[in-house]
A and B are shown apart, each in its own frame.
Chain A
Amino acid sequence: MTKMSALFKTMGWTKFRQINQMILLELIAVAVTGIWTAIKGNFNLATLFYLTASWSMLPYVVGFILLAVSTEKAYTADTFRLIPIEETRFYLMNLLSSLATLVYFMVVQAVLYGLTFWLGWSRISGMLPPMATVGSNVVEPIIVMLLVSLMTALLIWSTISFVHLVTSATSNFLPKFRQRALNVVVYVIVIFITIRVAGFIVHGVAWFARITFNGTDLGQFWLALAAMAVVILVEGALNVFLLKRWVETAAN
């Protein structure tokens, strides 16, 4: 049997490579626009920070989509599905390798932000509010924000997987005739049901948070995280069941 660490390593490698390409493109974009700004005579110490801030969203979105595509591809490719490992572990390693790659991307962005912020500090510092107005306890909100963004990524990926795996499994049973049209109908139905069920769970937890924390505390966010975790676990269990019982790989 294949070890989970070995699977994590191999699945992570492809994703790591994709994200590095995104980072490289981002750096090229920052360099090119930086040079262009310098040619126009508008370059100052804070320019690189502003350019990094304005370019970082695009590689994040594209990288996120590429990671989702890689994650889904693994479920129906013989290259991955022939690996002798239990489906729950397979599913976990696929999702976790995507998450680890996303964390890596965020760390690189944080370094880029920090570096360009440090370079432009003398100019940027004048525009910042006094430290007293920022507040003393900034650590918890930052941690919660980071966790929310990571959990959101996991939630989106597991929901995409759920829709993908349900449609993949049902397409085996549909007649070949007009299968594409039927697949679209199945996609719409599954997406609608998934959004309604996930929404129901999240709203339920939000209601619980309101009555428990009286709508003012960071505790609401912690409960939102818990709600996301519940949806991710439920979808995860269903995805593993679908992988075990119904989802086939694409034929050669």
Chain B
Amino acid sequence: MPNVLAIQGLTYKRNQKLILKNIDLTLETGKIVGLLGENGAGKTTLMRLITGSAQGSGDIMVSDATTATARKAHVSFSEQLHGFNKNVKISRVVDFYQTVYSDFDLNRYHELADFLQLNGELKLLALSKGMREKLIIALTLARQTDLYLLDEPFGGIDSMSRKKIISSIIQWKPDNATMLISDHYVTEIAPILDEIVVVKDQTIAVHQKTDTIRSESGMDIEDYYESLYAGGVDHD
């Protein structure tokens, strides 16, 4: 299978502190990959480096695009909508996405909005944290791109809705697209993951297929992930 993402020798420092060092990572087309790690491990930073929102040293290629500008056309990132005035209606945010992203599929957005019970007439300031996250998921998945980066997308969403969204995420992902999801609800997302990538000690500590982990270690994904921090698994 061709690779949708290829990272080589990526290092990132900020405020004289090393956040990520010598990251090498390749992701195949069509996969759902869990990006796991403790708080502050660098998961969000890795996603920001892929989108070009943060500037590191090293090579990042998304679907043959190497420059940050070109990569942006191939990546849909769950950004937090901080650029909008809080008085803006959801429908206006959707108009914005439709105007600036040529790959934004309005019909798909409406399907997602119906599924997630989003009301376009509501203003951003009227949204609860969970509703805001649902809007971000809908906007991110309504684009038809090669790589989706979902950064802790389920925070603030009630457990019922969370399970419903997770179980339906496969239906929203285009067949040839790859989805990288960082999340703390490892048990809940594990069933849909093809692979996991664990960021630990400023680098990629593990990149494995979930089936391989289950068959070789005999553990479920959450136990395996927790064992990495207990030092119980040799993950070389």
Q: Which residues of A are in contact with B by a Cβ distance under 8 Å?
A: 1-2, 6-7, 9-10, 14, 73-74, 77-87, 171-176, 179, 244-246, 248-252
- The answer to whether A176 touches B77, judged by C-beta atoms less than 8 angstroms apart, is no
Whether a CB of chain A sits under 8 angstroms from the CB of B70 is: yes
For residue B111, give the distance in angstroms from its CB to the closest CB of chain A.
23
Chain A: which residue is nearest B56 at the CB level?
A: A248
For residue A246, give the distance in angstroms from its CB to the closest CB of chain B.
6
CA distance A174 to B13 in the complex (A): 11
Chain B: which residue is nearest A78 at the CB level?
A: B79
Stretch from B14-22, B161-169, B195-203 that touches the partner: B14-22
Whether a CB of chain A sits under 8 angstroms from the CB of B81 is: yes
Chain B: which residue is nearest A169 at the CB level?
A: B55
Interface centre among A9, A73, A84, A248 (most CB of B within 10 A): A84
For residue A102, give the distance in angstroms from its CB to the closest CB of chain B.
19
Residues on A with beta carbons closer than 8 Å to the beta carbon of B70: 84
Chain A: which residue is nearest B73 at the CB level?
A: A84
Whether a CB of chain A sits under 8 angstroms from the CB of B170 is: no
Residues on B with beta carbons closer than 8 Å to the beta carbon of A173: 15-16
Interface centre among A73, A74, A80, A82 (most CB of B within 10 A): A82
Closest 5 CB pairs of A and B: A79-B83, A77-B83, A84-B72, A78-B79, A84-B73
- The answer to whether B101 touches A2, judged by C-beta atoms less than 8 angstroms apart, is yes
Chain A: which residue is nearest B72 at the CB level?
A: A84
For residue A232, give the distance in angstroms from its CB to the closest CB of chain B.
23
Given A172-B14, A173-B16, A252-B80: A78 and B73 interface contact (C-beta under 8 Å)? no
Residues on A with beta carbons closer than 8 Å to the beta carbon of B14: 172
Report which of B69, B80, B96, B102 forms a contact with A78, defined as CB distance below 8 A.
B80
For residue B52, give the distance in angstroms from its CB to the closest CB of chain A.
8
Whether a CB of chain A sits under 8 angstroms from the CB of B3 is: no
Given A7-B100, A172-B14: A82 and B79 interface contact (C-beta under 8 Å)? yes
Whether a CB of chain A sits under 8 angstroms from the CB of B99 is: yes
Report which of B15, B45, B79 forms a contact with A79, defined as CB distance below 8 A.
B79
- The answer to whether B72 touches A245, judged by C-beta atoms less than 8 angstroms apart, is no
Report which of A6, A7, A77, A174 forms a contact with B82, defined as CB distance below 8 A.
A77
Given A84-B70, A172-B14: A251 and B100 interface contact (C-beta under 8 Å)? no
CA distance A74 to B82 in the complex (A): 10
What 13 new A-B contacts, CB under 8 Å, besides A78-B53, A79-B84, A248-B53? Answer: A2-B101, A6-B99, A9-B99, A78-B80, A79-B81, A80-B83, A81-B53, A174-B16, A175-B15, A244-B68, A245-B55, A252-B44, A252-B79
For residue A88, give the distance in angstroms from its CB to the closest CB of chain B.
10
- The answer to whether A251 touches B44, judged by C-beta atoms less than 8 angstroms apart, is yes
Whether a CB of chain A sits under 8 angstroms from the CB of B178 is: no
A sample of 9 cross-chain residue pairs with beta-carbon separation below 8 angstroms, ordered by A number, consists of A2-B101, A10-B96, A79-B84, A82-B53, A82-B77, A173-B16, A174-B16, A248-B48, A251-B44
Proximity string of chain B (168-195) to chain A, C-beta cutoff 8 Å, 1 when within and 0 when not:
0000000000000000000000000000
Whether a CB of chain A sits under 8 angstroms from the CB of B85 is: yes
- The answer to whether A172 touches B83, judged by C-beta atoms less than 8 angstroms apart, is no
Report which of A2, A14, A175 forms a contact with B102, defined as CB distance below 8 A.
A2
CA distance A74 to B53 in the complex (A): 12
Residues on A with beta carbons closer than 8 Å to the beta carbon of B100: 2, 6-7, 10, 83
CA distance A29 to B150 in the complex (A): 47
Residues on A with beta carbons closer than 8 Å to the beta carbon of B82: 77-79, 250, 252
Residues on A with beta carbons closer than 8 Å to the beta carbon of B83: 73-74, 77-80
Chain A: which residue is nearest B152 at the CB level?
A: A252
Chain B: which residue is nearest A73 at the CB level?
A: B83
Report which of B15, B44, B51, B151 forms a contact with A82, defined as CB distance below 8 A.
B51
Whether a CB of chain A sits under 8 angstroms from the CB of B126 is: no
For residue B121, give the distance in angstroms from its CB to the closest CB of chain A.
17
Chain B: which residue is nearest A245 at the CB level?
A: B55
Chain B: which residue is nearest A244 at the CB level?
A: B68
CA distance A83 to B103 in the complex (A): 12
Residues on B with beta carbons closer than 8 Å to the beta carbon of A175: 15-16
Chain B: which residue is nearest A77 at the CB level?
A: B83
Chain B: which residue is nearest A83 at the CB level?
A: B100
- The answer to whether A85 touches B69, judged by C-beta atoms less than 8 angstroms apart, is yes
Given A245-B55, A248-B54, A251-B44: A78 and B77 interface contact (C-beta under 8 Å)? yes
Given A74-B83, A248-B55: A174 and B99 interface contact (C-beta under 8 Å)? no
Chain B: which residue is nearest A89 at the CB level?
A: B69
